[in-house]
């Protein structure tokens, strides 16, 4: 995998921009209150938060104008006063921005960019431009969490984008929640129920491996196949692939199909290991494990390829923040997953 440029770390007083690159719900009248909660939480960290021109124009306008979404993205990178870009939320079709992206603009203006889910597209845009970005919390979801943010989410976010020390071990959260509470203002003071988390499972492998992080939401990665965003074969070399499933909870058969396509493309021959996220609501928890083992071990004979499962990333709540391109380590014997460098300069 090619070396990615790290952005400067965020500091109190920095200006950051929010963007709606996919679903535009942040600007819908019935959700604006929640956007304001997330914005206030970012401001409480000492950041100055501004919206780009189209961030809050609502879901209809945002859907109808992918060129305006891309314009916001490019302008946020061009603006020297803006030090970070925060995705409001995911969605399903930010791939439509691709014709309007200037990769030179991203390359020439490195800065923190963070989000998850459909924001996987934005991360692969950054990766194509040579910039490391951050698979982590979004404004409408995690920063606007009912009552308060989860400490686990906040701590790993800070480690990734506010600090310049090695991020270190990504420990499993003691608890998890995916309880659905409708995003209505009258629910904002109701804490979601939490459940005990069993920690990581090493599905296979008995070694210590290191590689550079690449991956995202497995459904969204499918949108990029046969586009300029899809990495060249050698870009998978010596990497650790992290994958997670969304709130759509795809049938295990689909995960099987997608993993099988990776195997046919030779990706399992190139990578050092796989990190698989906690399934949303623990749906298909055992079925996904069976699919992973069947495809990787049985069909492609990669029985020694390390696979760590049930990691708090992506649609799992709480969640860690992972920097693309950072050197990571899976220690199968100790059941540990770590990031061995800082996310920022």
| Residue 7 domain flag | no
Let me know whether 44 and 75 are in one domain. Answer: yes
**pLDDT confidence tier of residue 83, bands split at 50, 70 and 90:** very high
Mark whether 161 and 179 lie in a shared domain.
Answer: no
Question: What DSSP string runs through 45-89?
Answer: TT-EEEE-TTTTS-HHHHHH-HHHHHHHHHHHHH-TTEEEEEE--
Rama region for 214: left / alpha / beta (φ>0; ψ in -120 to 50; rest): beta
Identify whether residues 68 and 216 lie together within a single domain: no
2 located within any domain:
no
219: Cβ–Cβ under 8 A, 6 or more apart, which residues? 245, 246, 248, 250, 254
In the numeric block, the tokens 């649609």 are attached to 315
Do the domain assignments include residue 108?
A: yes
- Asked whether residue 72 is assigned to any structural domain, the reply reads yes
Do 183 and 153 reside in the same domain of the chain?
no
Whose tokens are 């929010």? That residue is 18
* Average pLDDT score, the chain: 98
Which of 207, 158, 150 is CA-nearest to residue 336? 207
The proportion of the chain whose per-residue pLDDT surpasses 90, expressed as a percent, equals: 99
Q: What is the DSSP letter of 23?
A: -
What's the CATH code of the domain at 214?
3.50.30.60
Is residue 285 included in any domain, yes or no?
yes
Tell me, yes or no, whether 151 and 82 share the same domain: yes
Beta pairing, strands 327-331 & 201-204? unpaired
pLDDT of 81 higher than 90: yes
- CA 6 to chain centroid, in Å, comes to 16
As beta bridge partners, residue 169 has 338
Asked whether residue 1 carries a pLDDT value surpassing 90, the answer given is no
Q: What is the mean pLDDT of residues 46-72?
A: 98
Residue where a domain terminates, one of 131, 165, 199: 165
Residues 149 and 29 in one domain: yes
CATH number at residue 129: 3.40.50.10740
Same domain assignment for residues 331 and 182: yes
The stretch 181-206 carries a mean pLDDT of 97
Single out the residue in 165, 195, 210 at which a domain terminates: 165
How is the chain split among helix, strand and coil, in percent rounded to 5? 35, 20, 45
Asked if 150 and 30 sit in the same domain, the reply is yes
Q: How many CB atoms lie within 10 A of CB 84?
A: 23
**pTM, to two decimals:** 0.98
Instruction: Let me know whether 139 and 271 are in one domain.
Output: no
Mean pLDDT of 130-138: 98
Q: How far apart are CA 243 and CA 195, in angstroms?
A: 22
Q: Is 303 in contact with 295 (CB distance < 8 Å)? A: no
Structure tokens at 304: 């020694």
Residue 299 in any domain: the answer is: yes
Residue 181 backbone dihedrals phi, psi, to 5 degrees: -120, 125
Both 114 and 197 in one domain: the answer is no
Last residue of one domain, picked from the residues 143, 165, 187: 165
- Judge if 52 and 153 occupy the same domain: yes
Residues 259, 313 within the same domain: yes
Domain limits for position 333? 175-339
d(CA 236, CA 239): 6
What pLDDT was estimated at residue 2?
A: 81
- 10 located within any domain: no
> Residue 1 falls within a domain, yes or no?
no
As a whole number of angstroms, the distance between CA 343 and CA 112 comes to 9
Domain count of the fold of the chain: 2
Tens-digit pLDDT profile for residues 221-235? 999 999 999 999 999
């Amino acid at each position: 995998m090619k070396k990615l440029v790290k952005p400067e770390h965020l500091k109190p007083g920095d200006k950051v921009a929010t963007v709606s690159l996919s679903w535009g719900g942040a600007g819908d009248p019935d959700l604006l209150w929640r956007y304001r909660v997330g914005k206030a939480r970012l401001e409480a960290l000492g950041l100055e938060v501004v919206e780009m021109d189209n961030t809050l124009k609502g879901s209809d306008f945002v859907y109808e104008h992918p060129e305006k979404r891309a314009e916001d993205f490019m302008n946020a990178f061009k603006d020297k006063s803006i030090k970070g870009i925060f995705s409001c939320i995911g969605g399903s079709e930010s791939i439509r921005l691709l014709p309007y992206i200037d990769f030179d603009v991203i390359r020439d203006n490195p800065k923190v960019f963070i989000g998850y889910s459909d924001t996987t597209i934005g991360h692969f845009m950054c990766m194509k431009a040579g910039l490391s970005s951050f698979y982590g919390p979004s404004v409408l979801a995690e920063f606007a969490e009912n009552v308060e943010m989860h400490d686990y989410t906040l701590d790993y976010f800070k480690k990734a984008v506010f600090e310049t020390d090695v991020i270190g071990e990504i420990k499993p959260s003691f608890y998890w929640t995916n309880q659905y509470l409708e995003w209505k203002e009258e629910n904002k003071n109701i804490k979601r129920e939490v459940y005990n988390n069993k920690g990581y499972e090493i599905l296979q492998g008995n070694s210590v491996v290191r590689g550079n992080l690449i991956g995202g939401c497995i459904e969204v990665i499918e949108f990029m196949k046969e586009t300029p965003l899809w990495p060249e074969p050698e870009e998978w070399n010596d990497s650790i692939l992290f994958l997670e499933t969304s709130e759509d909870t795809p049938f295990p058969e689909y995960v099987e199909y997608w993993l099988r396509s990776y195997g046919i493309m030779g990706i399992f021959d190139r990578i050092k290991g796989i990190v698989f996220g906690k399934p949303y609501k623990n749906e298909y928890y055992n079925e996904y494990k069976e699919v992973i083992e069947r495809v990787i071990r049985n069909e492609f004979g990669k029985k020694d390829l390390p696979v760590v499962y049930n990691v708090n990333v992506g649609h799992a709540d709480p969640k860690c923040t992972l920097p693309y391109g950072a050197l990571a380590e899976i220690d199968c014997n100790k059941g540990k997953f770590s990031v061995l460098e800082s996310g920022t300069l």
